[in-house]
């Protein structure tokens, strides 16, 4: 067995190095690189990606994984988890014909390009033929990968959130449909009014930047192991427990956007920074699933960052930076302003209350596309109908409807539901943490470190060694239960 362990670790070390360089190139591309550097960079990236693929698919590496998988009992617990994951990833190499898979990679590469243009022109017809091919491939993919235990859309859902399939998501979304949709339609029927300076004043970027750095101190974001830059769309990018970076974006006419982007990304970042460092050199560093990752960003952003307690402590600093803009605007008004719920069309701009309903629209559409009950050509119409039913607002254009998200153009089916799931996990996790200590009190004492420490102990330190289900058990002593989420939202947003 030892020789296979050695081979495995040897390849892993090389792959880690490639991964690191490609990660660095990607980070540079999104944050610093000049516009014209794209072509030169792509060429180098291509070479590295091909070399890395050679290692990944090397028969010696594959053999080592297979042999170790046959002898899981002889491995230490961490390596066992790692080999299980590695073996699962071999599915694609083994079961999908190589030329079909490569053709698909090329298709999704150009897919996002076609999508950008179609979105710009508000022309679904332009995107439809590409999307049809992508859907077709995914329908074939699930056939190739199906097992007696798992079929169809479940296979795609499982790729992003282990253990969550149609049955589990249906139960989750049905709870939202029954309990949240009527509540949302009621709450959003009333339009709230705010001081015009909150929406109309100009908030200079340099002051916003200063506030973002202030927030990093508040959340104890370790600047020796991470940093903050700017990018078109905020994101977190980490490679180890000593290097996890985040970005934000400043809009002078929408100052709260950068505040909550920064906190959201810090949630993702703190998760990875608090992984046990022993996983840095393994394939287990990082978040265990998209849903658990999103639970951390949403918990920090919405449950901590959008709480009244938080702003009782930090609003004075904001007023100090924007004295004219926020003059005579009370912390209570500010709190109501950052927690306004309204019927809107764009998912990424949606508020905390309506967000999951935007996701539910996508879940139902994906499910029907993959099981063949919905044709791509009927997608825009169905989108509008579901938006009307769940969010209470129908888009008049496809740009603000079915063409708004990049995901499907890249073949990402099964990803969307994890966004809603993350928010729901967050509510349950927060509830459990609040039993261990009074979170509001910690926030009022400006002691976010206490929250970080709890999250580290119950979630973060495990990196990818526990499944989402296991994490929920460790953190909350229960299986996932969407009722916590519904109760939390109803309590926060009741009029």
Give residue 111's Cα distance to chain centre. Answer: 21
Contact (CB, 8 A) for 313 and 444: yes
Q: Which is nearer to Zn ion, 106 or 232 (CB)?
A: 232
- Alpha-carbon gap, residue 452 to 273, rounded angstroms: 11
Q: Which of 59, 61, 55, 57 is nearest to 8 (CA)?
A: 61
Please, which residue, 169 or 355, has the CB nearer to Zn ion? 355
Residues 6 or more apart in contact with residue 265 via CB below 8 angstroms: 234, 235, 236, 246, 247, 248, 297
Beta carbon of residue 451, minimum distance to Zn ion (angstroms, whole number): 18
Closest CB 422 distance from Zn ion, rounded Å: 7
Distance (Å, rounded) from C-alpha 126 to C-alpha 106? 18
The residue (of 240 and 297) whose beta carbon lies closer to Zn ion is 297
**Interacting stretch for Zn ion, rule CB under 5 A, among 103-111, 196-204, 250-258, 293-301?**
293-301
- Binding of Zn ion by 296 (CB under 5 A): no
Going by C-alpha positions, the residue among 287, 269, 291, 279 that lies closest to residue 82 is: 279
Which residue stretch of 154-162, 290-298, 335-343, 431-439 sits at the interface with Zn ion (rule: CB under 5 A)? Answer: 290-298
Among 82, 11, 55, CA closest to 286: 82
Contact string 83-112 vs Zn ion (x = CB under 5 A): ------------------------------
Shortest distance, position 365 Cβ to Zn ion, whole Å: 21
Q: How is residue 161 annotated by DSSP?
A: S
Strand blocks (E) in 374-423: none
* CA angle in degrees (0–180, nearest 5) for 419-213-208: 85
320 in active site:
no
Q: Which of 297, 325, 423, 464 binds Zn ion (CB under 5 A)?
A: 297
Euclidean distance between CA atoms 157 and 344, whole angstroms: 26
Decide: 311 and 317 in contact? Cβ < 8 Å: no
Minimum Å gap between C-beta 117 and Zn ion is: 27
Q: Contact 303/454 with Cβ under 8 angstroms?
A: no
Q: Closest Cα partner for 277 from 244, 241, 243?
A: 241
User: Can you tell me the distance from the alpha carbon of 269 to that of 55, in angstroms, rounded to the nearest whole number?
Assistant: 29
Binding mask 249-288 for Zn ion (x = CB under 5 A): ----------------------------------------
Residue nearest to Zn ion (CB): 297
- Beta strand 243-248 with 228-230 is parallel
Q: Which listed range, 297-305, 339-347, 386-394, 448-456, lies at the site for Zn ion (CB under 5 A)?
A: 297-305
Nearer to Zn ion, 8 or 355 (CB): 355
Find the shortest distance in angstroms from Cβ 264 to Zn ion. Answer: 6
Of residues 247 and 297, the one with the C-beta less far from Zn ion: 297
Which one is catalytic: 82, 161, 265, 364?
265
Q: Which region holds residue 342: left if phi is over 0, alpha if psi is between -120 and 50, else beta?
A: beta
Residue 48 CB, nearest approach to Zn ion (Å): 27
Q: Tokens standing for 36?
A: 């014209």
Identify the DSSP state of 191: P
Distance CA 450, CA 479 (A): 24
Query: Which one, 82 or 352, has the nearer CB to Zn ion?
Result: 352
Residue whose CB is less far from Zn ion, 130 or 236? 236
Q: Which helix (H) or strand (E) element contains residue 236?
A: strand 236-240
**SS3 assignment for 311-336:** HHHHHHHHHHHCCCCCCCCCHHHHHH
Among the residue ranges 222-230, 291-299, 323-331, 429-437, the one whose residues contact Zn ion (CB under 5 A):
291-299
Minimum CB separation of residue 175 from Zn ion in Å reads 22
The number of beta carbons lying within 10 Å of the beta carbon of residue 432 is 18
Instruction: Kindly state the smallest distance separating residue 290's Cβ from Zn ion, in Å.
Output: 9
Report, in Å, the least distance between residue 268 CB and Zn ion: 6
How many chain residues interact with Zn ion (CB under 5 A)? 1
Nearer CB in complex with Zn ion: 188/464: 464
Residue range at the interface with Zn ion (CB under 5 A); choices 131-139, 253-261, 294-302, 426-434: 294-302
Residue 459, number of CB atoms within 10 A of its CB: 25
Contacts (CB under 5 A) with Zn ion, residues 173-212: none
Q: Which stretch binds Zn ion (CB under 5 A): 48-56, 88-96, 292-300, 424-432?
A: 292-300
- 229 bridge partner residues: 247
Smaller CB separation from Zn ion, 208 or 247? 247
Count of residues in the chain: 495
Interacting residues with Zn ion (CB under 5 A): 297
Residues recognised as catalytic: 265
């Amino acid at each position: 067995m030892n020789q296979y362990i050695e081979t495995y670790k040897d390849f892993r070390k090389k792959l880690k190095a490639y991964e690191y360089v490609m990660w660095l190139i990607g980070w540079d591309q999104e944050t610093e690189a000049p516009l014209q550097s794209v072509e030169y960079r792509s060429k180098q990236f291509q070479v590295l990606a091909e070399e890395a693929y050679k290692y990944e698919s090397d028969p010696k590496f594959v053999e080592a994984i297979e042999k170790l998988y046959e002898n899981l009992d002889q491995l230490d617990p961490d390596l066992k988890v790692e080999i299980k994951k590695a073996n699962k990833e071999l599915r694609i190499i083994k079961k999908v014909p190589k030329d079909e898979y490569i053709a698909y990679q090329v298709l999704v590469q150009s897919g996002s390009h076609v999508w950008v243009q179609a979105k710009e022109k508000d022309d679904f017809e332009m995107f439809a033929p590409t999307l049809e091919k992508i859907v077709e491939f995914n329908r074939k993919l699930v056939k190739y990968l199906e097992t007696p235990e798992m079929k169809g859309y479940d296979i795609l859902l499982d790729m992003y959130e282990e253990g969550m399939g149609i049955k589990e998501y249906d139960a989750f979304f049905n709870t939202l449909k029954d309990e949240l949709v009527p509540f949302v339609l009621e709450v959003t029927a009333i339009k709230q009014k705010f001081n015009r300076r909150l929406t109309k004043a100009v908030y200079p970027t340099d002051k916003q930047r200063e506030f973002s750095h202030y927030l990093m101190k508040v959340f104890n974001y370790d600047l020796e192991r991470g940093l903050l830059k700017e990018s078109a769309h905020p994101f977190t990018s980490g490679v180890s427990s000593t290097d996890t970076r985040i970005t934000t974006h400043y809009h002078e006419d929408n100052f709260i956007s950068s505040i909550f982007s920064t906190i959201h990304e810090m949630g993702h970042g703190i998760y990875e920074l608090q992984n046990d460092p022993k996983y840095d050199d393994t394939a287990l560093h990082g978040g265990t699933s998209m849903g658990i990752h999103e639970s951390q960003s949403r918990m920090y952003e919405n449950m901590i960052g959008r709480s009244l307690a938080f702003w009782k402590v930090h609003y004075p600093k904001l007023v100090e930076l924007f004295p004219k803009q926020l003059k005579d605007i009370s912390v209570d008004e500010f709190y109501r302003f950052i927690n306004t719920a309204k019927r809107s069309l764009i998912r990424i701009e949606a508020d905390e209350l309506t967000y999951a309903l935007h996701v539910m629209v996508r879940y139902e559409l994906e499910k029907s596309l993959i099981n063949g009950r919905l044709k791509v050509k009927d997608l825009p119409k169905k989108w509008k109908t579901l938006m009307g039913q769940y969010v209470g607002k129908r888009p008049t254009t496809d740009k603000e409807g079915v063409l708004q998200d990049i995901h499907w153009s890249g073949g990402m089916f099964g990803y969307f539901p994890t966004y809603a799931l993350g928010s729901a996990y967050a509510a349950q996790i927060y509830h459990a943490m609040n039993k261990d200590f009074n979170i509001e009190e910690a926030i009022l004492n400006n002691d976010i470190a206490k929250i970080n420490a709890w999250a580290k102990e119950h979630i973060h330190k495990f990196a990818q060694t526990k499944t989402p289900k296991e994490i929920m058990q460790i953190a909350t002593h229960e299986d996932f239960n969407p009722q916590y989420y519904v109760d939390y939202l109803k309590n926060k947003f009741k009029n």
